[in-house]
Each structure stands twice: as structure tokens, then as C-alpha cells.
Structure 1
Amino acid sequence: MDKALSGVKILDFSHLLQGPFATQLLADMGADVIKVERAGAGDMFRSMTFFAKWVGGSESPNFLAWNRNKRSIALNLKSRKVHALVMRMAEQADVVVQNFRPGVLAKLGYGYEDFKAVNPRIIYCSGSGYGEDGPYVDRPGQDMLIQGLAGLIANTGRGDAAPVPAGAGLADQIGAMNMVYGILSALYYREKTGKGQKVEVNLLAGMLAHLGQEYVGVLNLGEDFVRPNSGIGHPGMQAPFGVYETRYGYVTIAMSPFKTLYQVLEAPHLAVYDDLETLFAKRDEVWEKVNAETRKYRRGELLEKLLDADIWCAPVHDIRAAAEDPQVTHLGLIASYEHPKAGTVKVIGPAVRMSETPATIDRPAPLVGQHGREILAEFGVPADEIAALEAAGDMTVAEA
């Protein structure tokens, strides 16, 4: 079955998280993503892991998470022979993706103008930390650094302790979504006009865009966010919005009528707090009072009572519990693929459902350069030339 992006060919020079997640999303929808890695070492994420452990004894969970449905070719990009080959490939490509520091690939002859010269229809998507010019252009643009600079970390955690980064790479993942958004927009424009273009995405701009309501609030209302000292879930919100204890585990309670909440909790003494200004001004005090009530219940019992009253609530899961949640199971969000070295790898399945062109997992994350020979053969490179590249060390191929 054709997929939505069948026929779209992408040369993917990206590494780590932002670019690879973007190209994986496109690959899930059918794009032919050719992952161009460094000869020998490959993507930097291959050497990073969690818990100081490796999936199957050798593979990085970080890499396995973001690189399914791709083919890998491992090349020495400093070689002039390789440069000539890549430009031959670019003649047939639709999209180039890269997220090196600004100027790094251009110095090697792989900038937008280089690709445009051989293929005016090319769409060149460039991801960076802070943009491609300005006072921070040479700074490392890592996810946690961007969270801090943009204001997310300062808004997170309790006010009587240090601010807390998000427990996931939000800036990188938002950057990936913006890459997809830009690439798909450029592809649609090219369908209408025949013109390619350069798409620039940076983590700082993406993070600010996703803090839009916080910035509009502060810049227009003359107030600064102050983190609460309790489990209130946002520095701009009043009680009861937050995280609460039960006899076993935690629950979240979101925007809900306070009167309904204290009635369900059988705590009429909380009625004295039931107006908007008080719920904000005394939110830590209110949190303590509500938390004292929620601690009387088992978590499942409390959730049942709250949901029956249409209170917005949910359990607080860790990763393992979330993976086994009935709704996650119903949606089929935990998938797997077979990897030649790691064995069965559990992954998060495609998040978007398409009625006519469903996304599927067709390939595991590749080994370094695993598909180099077949990729070059598809582009018309003779077998002896491929062998010469390998002999010279300008291409490495890992056997599955």
C-alpha cells in the first residue's frame, strides 16, 4: 500500500535527536530516508545510552528510538570523491535535512547553495540551536540549555527548591515537529510552483513558540511567574491545578470547579477558599488542605469518585506503568521491531492515524552504513566504484 509520502526521497545528514526524530516521522509516512552517517562512527547517538546499559548488549536506546524506517550509508564527507557522489544523489533527492552547527556542512560543500546548484527543486531543512546568525550562533544548542534560556526550567518545580528541567528532550522534539512542519509546507509549495527552498528551524524559536501563553501573560499583564511551594502544576495557575498524593501513588487534578471537588472529597470546610482570587493568592495553603483529603483515599478509589463527578483528573504513571495503561494498550502505542543485533526492540508506534495511508514500521534502526552498497547501486554507481570507496576507507558498511 502506498503511504502519504511514498516517492519522497530524503538525504538525512542529521544526528542526535532533533533531525533524526523529524526524519523518522517522515519515514513512518513513507518517505525514503537515506541516513548519511560518518564513516566508522556513525550518528553520535550510537555512543550514548541510559543507565550505562545497551540494548542487546551493544545498541543505544537513544539511537534505536529515532531511526527506524531508514537506510544508512556511512561516508567520509571530507572526501572529494564522496562529495561528487552525494551531489549525484542530490540530483534525484527531494529533501536534505541536517542539524550540525551553523556553517559546518557548508564548509565541506554541503550547504544549501551547493545542493541548489545541482537541483533547484531541492528543499534544504537546517536545524540549529539558536539560528544561523546572531550573538549565539557559535554556542552549542543542546536541549536542556534551550529549556533554561527560554524560561521553561524557571517555571518548573517547587519555589522552595531549585528549578527543574523537563524529564524529556522537549526542545529537541518540538524542533523535530517544526522541521516536519516546514518540510511538508515546502513540499506543498513546490507542488504548486516547482520551486525548492531553504527551511531554517532552531530550538530557541520553537521553545518560545510553545511557551506562547506564558509569554503573552507576562508581557501583557505586568506580572512575573513565581513557582509555588506546593504541588500546584503551573506557576500561573490557581488551586487545585496540580499533583496530589493518595494512599498509594499520585494523581493530577486539572481545571475543575472547586465546589464540585470539595463536595466529592466530602470536605465542606474548603468552601471558604472558593473564589478565584483566593484560590490563587492562597494556592499553597489550598493545595495542602486538598492534599490532606486526597491522602485518605486509595488512588483507584479517588479517581473513580472524581471521574464520576466529571473532575478532570488522571493517575501519575512512571514509564513502565504508562506503557501498560489500558488506553495506551487500546491505541496500540507500544510497538516493536526486530533488530539484527538488539533483537526485539520495544518502541513507541506512530502517533498519527491515516485512514488511507497508514504509517507503519517497516525497518528497524539501521546499522552503520548497512545499506550503503544498495543505496549507491540505486543511484547508478558501478560496483567497482563502490568497492574502491570501501577500499579507500571513504565508506564503511556494517553487515547485518
Structure 2
Amino acid sequence: MNKALNGVTILDFSHLLQGPFATQLLADMGANVIKIERAGSGDMFRSMTFFAKWVGGSESPNFLAWNRNKRSLALNLKSPEVHAIIMEMAKKADVVVQNFRPGVLAKLGYGYEDFKAVNPGIIYCSGSGYGEDGPYVTRPGQDMLIQGLSGLMANTGRGDQNPVPVGAGLADQIGAMNMVYGILSALYYREKTGIGQKIEVNLLAGLIAHLNQEYVGVLNLGEDFVRPNSGIGHPGMQAPFGVYETADGGYVTIAMSPFKTLYETLEAPALAVYDDLGTLFEKRDEVWEKVNAETKKFGTADLLDRLLAADIWCAEVKDIRKAAEDPQVTHLGLITSYEHPRAGTVRVVGPAIRMSETQPTIDRPAPLVGQHGREILAEFGISAETIARLEEGGDMTVSEA
């Protein structure tokens, strides 16, 4: 199948979420992603899971989520022979991706300058928590930590409770998108000039960039966000923007909508006394309580029908299982599956975009540790004798499907 990134080869040293999600997105687009893992244990995400359970009894849902469409080559990166082999591979590669702590790979001889020396056109994308220099360079850069440091967590949750991290690895996933954005831009630049480059992506910068409107508001308006005690959905917004209860135990979100339209639709004319922008902000907790009392008079489906008929911006709040069965999610084909040699049928979220000529697809399951090591090295001209020696010496792991 014709894909946008056919012919692009990526040496992917990344682990956990940020780098692997980025390279998965590129792999979905047809890039030849060679996942270079640690001999033996592989990517750290292989040993992490949710609910203390394993898909198919042995596989991590975390790893399965971010590593489809890749082949795995598991090597001992400290081995001089392995280093020489990877540098030979680099001569034919287009992109290197890694998200170890700053300096870790460079000490092993896999920094940007090492790859550039053998392939001046190489694009080297490096991900980190806080950047590759500065006072936090040695700190661990994990998603929840960045949510707290960036200001996002202080904006989330109710004012009379602790700040709340969002229920997904948002900083990592934004970091992944920035990696893709940088890599595609660098590929386009190299196509025009023949010049490769180093790309540095960090979680802190990425998440702060996505808080731009919040930073612009605070730094220019002389106000600080204060989380409301009610279900108002953003600390800078007035009522009714928020989450509301329904009669059958459900929840509905109501976004930016004319307040007059809302209270008329709810048949609650007494709410008219709040219909002023300043009042809706200053008394937003009180307004939320009043509106919530009205929404609780309706079942979830009835309330949604009523609000949507009045063109009020609203939606049901769903958990993961219900969202996966949502009719629009089904229509878009967002939930799909692949067959894994050990986990069996794995249900996953498919590519999020549609392309008329080069549609991204899922062609391979997430690999086993080193599953494709022999075929990858053979493709790069490494002899069968060398491959056998690497295996026998413990410098390469090959897991059979």
C-alpha cells in the first residue's frame, strides 16, 4: 500500500511513552521503524501494566498501545561490536529517535555527533523531561511531575480538594506530537537542502506550549486562576461551563452557550437573575449549584436531547468502556484490533486521521523483544556468522513468535 513515509528508515532507541508514540505515528504512515531495545528485558514499558493484569496473561497493555507497526532488534548497546553494527545501519537510516535522560546515549557512543559523523544527513530527535541543559537536567522527567510543574495540575480539580492530574499521559503524548512535528519538518528541510539536524523536544516546554492561553491570561491580565469549588470546567471560565449531574446518575458537560438559552431550555426562569458575564463569573459556584439542581430533574438521554435541540454545546460524560461503544466512535472506526502472537486479539485505538491517498494503517502487532533481529541485521548486510555470534554471546536477544 502506498503510504506517505514509505522509504523512511528510523532507528528508534526510545522507551516508555513519549518516543514510542511518536515512532508509532510515523510507522502508521509507512516509515520503517526499527525498535532498538535492551537485550533481554527490552523496553521498560514491557514490565508495566494497569490493574496488575496482563493481556493474554503475559503482555503489557502499555507496550501494546504504543509499539505497533515496528520491528524489534534487541541488543547490548555497551558492546563495541554492536556499536559498530549500529553505526553501519546508521549510514542507511534517515532518523534516530531516543528519549533517555540527557547524556545517557551519548556516553555509550550514540549521540547526535556520533551518528552525524557516519551520516551527515541524519535527523536525530531527542526527547527529555526538561531539556538537555539547565538546572533540572538531571531530574527524572515523568508525565505527572510535568503536569504539576507546568501549572496544568493546579488548574484541575475542585478548589476545596487537592490539585488533580489528568487521567492520561498528556505531557508524554504532547511530547510525542512535537517529536513528529519536528521530524517531519526536518525531513522536508533535508529534502530541499540535503542537510540533517538535531531536534530537541522536552515535556515541560511541550505542555507549557499547550497552556498558552492560560499563560497569556495570567501574565497579561494581572489575575491568577483559582479553582472553583463546584463542577465548573475551567478556573478561568464563568458558569455554566462545567459538568452537571443527571437524574439517572450520569453526567453531562455544558460548554460555551448563551445562558438565556440554557435556562429557558431547562424551564428555569429564576436563573435569569444571573444572566450577566460578571455575575456568571463572580457567582459561578452558586450558579453551578442552581443549574445542577435543574439538570438533575432529567435523565441523561432526555437532557441531552433537550439541550441539543436548542443548539447548546453539550455532551455526555462517558467512561472508557462506554466511549469505545459510542456511535460516533463506532462510525469513525476508532476502535480496531490486531493479532498478537502471545496476547491474541488485542483491541486498540486506530489511526486518528484520514488521508485520501496515503491512509495510515495497522500492519504489524507490537513486536516481541528482538523478534525481528535476524531479519533486520541481514537486511543491513550483517553476516549470518556475526548474527549467530551476537546471539551466542548474549549481545542480542531474539524472541520467537
TM-score (ref. length: structure 2): 1.00
Number of the residue aligned with 2:167: 167
Alpha-carbon distance in structure 2 between the residues aligned to 1:160 and 1:12: 44
Q: Deviations over 1:207-262 (max 9, x none)?
A: 00000000000000000000000000000000000000001200000000000000
1:268 and 2:269 equivalent? yes
Q: What is the CA deviation profile of residues 302-327 of structure 1, one whole-angstrom value per residue up to 9, with x for unaligned ones?
A: 00000000000000000000000000
What is the match of residue 89 of structure 1? 89
| Structure 1 match to 2:220 | 220
Q: After the TM superposition, which residues 25-64 of structure 1 pair with which residues of structure 2 at under 5 Å, given as runs?
A: 25-64=25-64
Instruction: Please list every run of at least 4 consecutive aligned residues from structure 1 whose deviation after the TM superposition is greater than 3 angstroms.
Output: none
Q: CA deviation at 1:8?
A: 0.2
In 2, distance between residues paired with 1:223 and 1:252?
A: 26
TM normalised by structure 1 equals 1.00
CA distance in 2, matches of 1:195, 1:28: 25
Equivalent in the alignment of 1:346: 347
Instruction: Give the Cα–Cα distance (whole angstroms) in 1 for the partners of residues 163 and 178 of structure 2.
Output: 26
2:251 corresponds to: 250
Q: Deviations over 1:182-207 (max 9, x none)?
A: 00000000000000000000000000
Structure 2 CA distance for aligned equivalents of residues 205 and 270 of structure 1: 42
**How much has 1:353 moved relative to structure 2?**
0.7
Cα distance between partner residues in 2 of 1:392 and 1:84? 16
Please give the residue correspondences for 1:271-290 in structure 2 after superposition, counting only pairs within 5 Å: 271-290=272-291
SS in 2 for 1:356: coil
Q: Distance in 2 between matches of 1:329 and 1:348?
A: 11
Structural mapping, 1:169-248, within 5 Å: 169-248=169-248
Letter in 2 for 1:365: A
Indicate the residue corresponding to 1:141 in structure 2. Answer: 141
Cα deviation, residue 2, structure 1: 1.3
- Cα shift readout 1:44-95 (whole Å, capped 9, x = no counterpart): 0000000000000000000000000000000000000000000000000000
Aligned-partner Cα distance in 1 for 2:353–2:212: 24
Structure 2 SS opposite 1:33 = strand
Tell me the equivalent position of 2:66.
Answer: 66
CA distance in 2, matches of 1:378, 1:184: 25
Separation in 1 of the partners of 2:222 and 2:271?
30
Q: CA deviation at 1:151?
A: 0.3
**Other structure's SS at 1:240 match:** coil
Question: Where does residue 5 of structure 2 map in the other structure?
Answer: 5
The runs of 5 or more residues in structure 2 that have no matched partner are none
The answer to whether structure 1 residue 118 and structure 2 residue 118 are counterparts is: yes
In 1: Cα distance, 2:382 partner to 2:159 partner: 61
Look up the equivalent residue of 2:291 and give its one-letter code.
Answer: V
The match for 1:368 is 369
Secondary structure of the residue that 1:199 maps to in structure 2? strand
| Pairwise CA RMSD | 0.3
Helix, strand or coil at the partner of 1:35 = strand
Residue aligning to 1:77: 77
Instruction: Please list every run of 5 or more consecutive structure 1 residues that lacks an aligned counterpart in the other structure.
Output: none
The amino acid across from 2:292 in the alignment is N
- What residue identity is the alignment partner of 1:355? S
1:279 Cα shift?
A: 0.1
Task: Output the CA distance in 2 between the equivalents of 1:149 and 1:319.
Answer: 27
> Within 2, Cα distance between the matches of 1:175 and 1:360?
22
Counterpart residue identity of residue 295, structure 2: T
State the alpha-carbon separation in 2 of the partners of residues 160 and 129 from structure 1. Answer: 30
SS, match of residue 314 in structure 1: strand
- 2:37 alignment partner AA: E
Alpha-carbon distance in 2 for matches of 1:204, 1:162: 21
Aligned residue pairs total 400
TM-superposed CA distance for 1:103, in Å, is 0.1
Secondary structure of the 2:145 match is: helix
Alignment-derived partner of residue 379 in structure 1: 380
Q: Deviations over 1:263-286 (max 9, x none)?
A: 000000000000000000000000
State the match for 2:392 in structure 1: 391
1:396, 1:174 → 2: CA distance?
A: 32
Report the equivalent of 1:150.
150
Partner-residue secondary structure (3-state), 2:72: strand
Q: How far 1:352 moved relative to its partner?
A: 1.1
